[in-house]
């Protein structure tokens, strides 16, 4: 092995994130423009404030502050009594004011954390800070990606949207951990009701990555070692999977550089999702480039007193634990049933009427499976109709098999109610007399199968069950048919001798 190869083996991946999430509010952060811009023409949700026209004054959106406090509480962060806004100055076509209102040395949240589980191992990722800021407008590049476009158009509908930037410590040691963190963060934000993962661009990640020598990591990663490591900042990441792929690419690229004896440049790189590569954009800006200064148009924000009144719901981990204990669910079921707050609420409401394990099987295994298959979410399910379906099964009016394979599927595919489907497909359970008649008929008409059964052949009984099911149009319960067949065959057993 060469000396260089030996050297690269001693390198550990170090990653820290800056995650921008869009907070769900009705209006923008500093003006009354609506945030519901999807599908509307460019530049139709703008006003003097978010266009940065001279003399227009920002007014802070209370709902955004509440959302930020909720995020802070969920991350177990310190929320200081007083926080301030700053101007971050830079010139870029999507920034009409030529500065962004953000927070600098007095952010609304400090020192939080989020626990993740990766390959059954628990890891705590420290959050250094989380602050409020306005989104810039957006650019539309025509004729190719950012580095090859013919021209670019500006849309200020996004200018002024409320963002929270969450900055982690460089605590990640693999791209997989980053993916797990982003999934967990989204889950928590969804529970808080402050985030919509389906909204285009609602999650944007800048990932800082460097390779640091192992001995330094083991000896406790020092500020000096971190600062000394040349790192790249990868921008334009917009999904969990994208983050994992971009960082895996960067790990390989940086390792290759070190193996060839080259230095990794300290720079900003752009993740090109379609090509699956990162490309160099520019040398990394430094803080002093931004000329931060206090935003004189906004007074300091005091959340003391108020912040205590802002409540947050039970968070996913706690709810998972409680569901296991309260309803005796398996870890797997509890995980499925708490994947979103909406699913968890849906399930728990059903337990008012049905046995917890019955409801759990129906929601976790059947309903979520059918939804997943159709690329739908719970939003597509009518609660009343689903409850009625479970009543039909619980009252044994239809078989479980028909309920799932015919009724539920038809409900989802055609939007019919359960009773309509049962009626149309003639699925009402066959009464006992009818089953008994079909059982007798199956025995009389299949003497060979009966003989095989008596000779101890297992398949023969299944064959007879199949005959009865066919005769009853699938509406008999297979378990009941099985029992009745055995009883009837035993009763008809020829006497010995």
Judged by beta carbon, residue 16 or residue 112, the one nearer ligand ADP is: 16
Q: Among residues 75, 95, 166, 229, which is the contact residue for ligand ADP, using CB under 6 A? A: 229
With CB under 5 to 8 Å by kind, the binding choice for 31 among Zn ion, ligand ADP, none is Zn ion
Judged by beta carbon, residue 124 or residue 379, the one nearer ligand ADP is: 124
Least Cβ distance, residue 43 to ligand ADP (angstroms): 31
CB 196 within 8 A of CB 24: yes
Q: Among residues 15, 114, 303, 344, which is the contact residue for ligand ADP, using CB under 6 A? A: 15
CB 103 within 8 A of CB 134: no
With CB under 5 to 8 Å by kind, the binding choice for 472 among Zn ion, ligand ADP, none is none
The CA angle 43-141-244, to the nearest 5 degrees, is 110
Least Cβ distance, residue 210 to ligand ADP (angstroms): 4
394 binds ligand ADP (CB under 6 A): no
x-marked contacts with Zn ion along 16-55 as a string, rule CB under 5 A: ---------------x-x-------------x-xx-----
375 binds ligand ADP (CB under 6 A): no
- Cα dihedral 60, 62, 64, 66 in deg (nearest 10): 140
How long a stretch of residues is the chain? 497
Residues 278-337 that bind ligand ADP (CB under 6 A): 287
Contacting range for ligand ADP; rule: CB under 6 A; set: 57-65, 157-165, 168-176, 302-310: 168-176
61 binds ligand ADP (CB under 6 A): no
Q: How far is CA 379 from CA 14, 359, 384, 387, in A?
A: 39, 18, 13, 15
Q: How far is CA 366 from CA 144, 318, 341, 355, 369, in A?
A: 44, 24, 18, 16, 5
Least Cβ distance, residue 82 to Zn ion (angstroms): 26
Residue number with the shortest CB distance to ligand ADP? Answer: 16
Least Cβ distance, residue 34 to Zn ion (angstroms): 9
Neighbouring residues of 342: CB distance < 8 A, sequence distance ≥ 6: 377, 378, 379
- Cα–Cα distance for residue pair 338/343, rounded to 1 Å: 6
Q: Residue 446: count other Cβ atoms within 10 Å of its Cβ.
A: 16
With CB under 5 to 8 Å by kind, the binding choice for 329 among ligand ADP, Zn ion, none is none
- Could you give the maximum distance between any two Cα atoms of the chain, in Å? 110
- Cα–Cα distance for residue pair 136/484, rounded to 1 Å: 71
Least Cβ distance, residue 398 to ligand ADP (angstroms): 55
Least Cβ distance, residue 258 to ligand ADP (angstroms): 14
109 binds ligand ADP (CB under 6 A): no
Q: How many residues bind ligand ADP (CB under 6 A)?
A: 16
With CB under 5 to 8 Å by kind, the binding choice for 231 among ligand ADP, Zn ion, none is ligand ADP
Least Cβ distance, residue 84 to ligand ADP (angstroms): 18
Least Cβ distance, residue 31 to Zn ion (angstroms): 3
| Tokens, residue 434 | 């009818």
Least Cβ distance, residue 30 to Zn ion (angstroms): 8
Q: Among residues 231, 240, 320, 429, which is the contact residue for ligand ADP, using CB under 6 A? A: 231
Judged by beta carbon, residue 190 or residue 250, the one nearer ligand ADP is: 250
Q: How far is CA 437 from CA 387, 433, 471, 484, 486, in A?
A: 33, 6, 10, 11, 14
| Tokens, residue 140 | 């539309």
Residues at the site binding ligand ADP, with contacts judged by CB under 6 A: 14-18, 167-170, 208-210, 226, 229, 231, 287
Applying CB under 5 A, the residues found at the interface with Zn ion are 31, 33, 47, 49-50
């Amino acid at each position: 092995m060469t000396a260089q190869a030996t050297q690269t083996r001693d390198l550990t991946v170090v990653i820290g994130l800056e995650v921008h999430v869009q907070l769900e509010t009705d209006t923008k952060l500093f003006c009354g423009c609506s945030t519901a811009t999807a599908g509307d023409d460019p530049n139709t949700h703008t006003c003097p404030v978010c266009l940065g026209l001279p003399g227009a004054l920002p007014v802070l959106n209370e709902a955004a502050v509440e959302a930020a406090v909720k995020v802070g509480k969920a991350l177990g962060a310190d929320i200081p009594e007083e926080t301030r806004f700053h101007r971050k100055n830079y010139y870029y076509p999507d920034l009409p004011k030529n500065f962004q209102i953000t927070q600098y040395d007095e952010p609304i949240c400090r020192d939080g954390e989020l626990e993740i589980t990766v390959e059954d191992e628990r890891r705590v990722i420290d959050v250094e800070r989380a602050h409020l800021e306005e989104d810039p407008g957006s650019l539309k590049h025509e004729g190719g990606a950012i580095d090859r476009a013919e021209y670019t158009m500006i849309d200020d509908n996004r200018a002024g949207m409320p963002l929270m930037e969450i900055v982690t410590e460089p605590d990640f040691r693999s791209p997989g951990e980053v993916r797990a963190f982003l999934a967990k963060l989204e889950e928590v934000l969804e529970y808080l009701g402050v985030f919509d993962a389906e909204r285009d661009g609602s999650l944007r990640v800048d990932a800082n990555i460097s390779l640091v020598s192992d001995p330094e990591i083991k000896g406790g990663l020092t500020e000096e070692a971190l600062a000394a490591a040349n790192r790249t900042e990868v921008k334009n990441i917009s999904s969990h999977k994208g983050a994992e792929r971009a960082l895996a690419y960067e790990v390989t690229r940086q390792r290759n550089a070190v193996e060839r004896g080259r230095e990794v440049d300290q720079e900003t790189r752009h993740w090109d999702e379609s090509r699956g590569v990162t490309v160099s954009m520019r040398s990394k800006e430094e803080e002093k480039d931004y000329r931060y200064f206090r935003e004189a148009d906004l007074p300091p924000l005091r959340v003391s007193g108020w912040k205590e009144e802002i409540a947050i719901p039970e968070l996913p981990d706690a709810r998972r634990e409680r569901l296991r204990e309260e309803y005796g669910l398996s870890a797997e079921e509890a995980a499925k049933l708490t994947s979103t707050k909406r699913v968890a609420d849906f399930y728990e409401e059903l337990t008012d009427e049905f046995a917890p394990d019955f409801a759990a099987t129906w929601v976790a295994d059947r309903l979520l499976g059918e939804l997943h298959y159709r690329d739908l979410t719970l939003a597509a399910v009518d609660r009343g109709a689903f409850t009625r379906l479970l009543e039909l099964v619980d009252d044994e009016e239809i078989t479980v098999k028909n309920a799932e394979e015919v009724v539920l599927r038809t409900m989802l595919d055609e939007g019919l109610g359960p009773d309509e489907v049962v009626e149309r497909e003639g699925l009402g359970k066959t009464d006992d007399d009818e089953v008994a008649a079909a059982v007798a008929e199956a025995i009389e008409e299949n003497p060979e199968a009966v003989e095989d059964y008596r000779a101890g052949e297992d398949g023969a009984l299944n064959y007879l069950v199949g005959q009865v099911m066919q005769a009853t149009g699938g509406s008999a319960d297979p378990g009941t048919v099985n029992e009745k067949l055995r009883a009837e065959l035993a009763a008809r057993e020829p006497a010995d001798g």
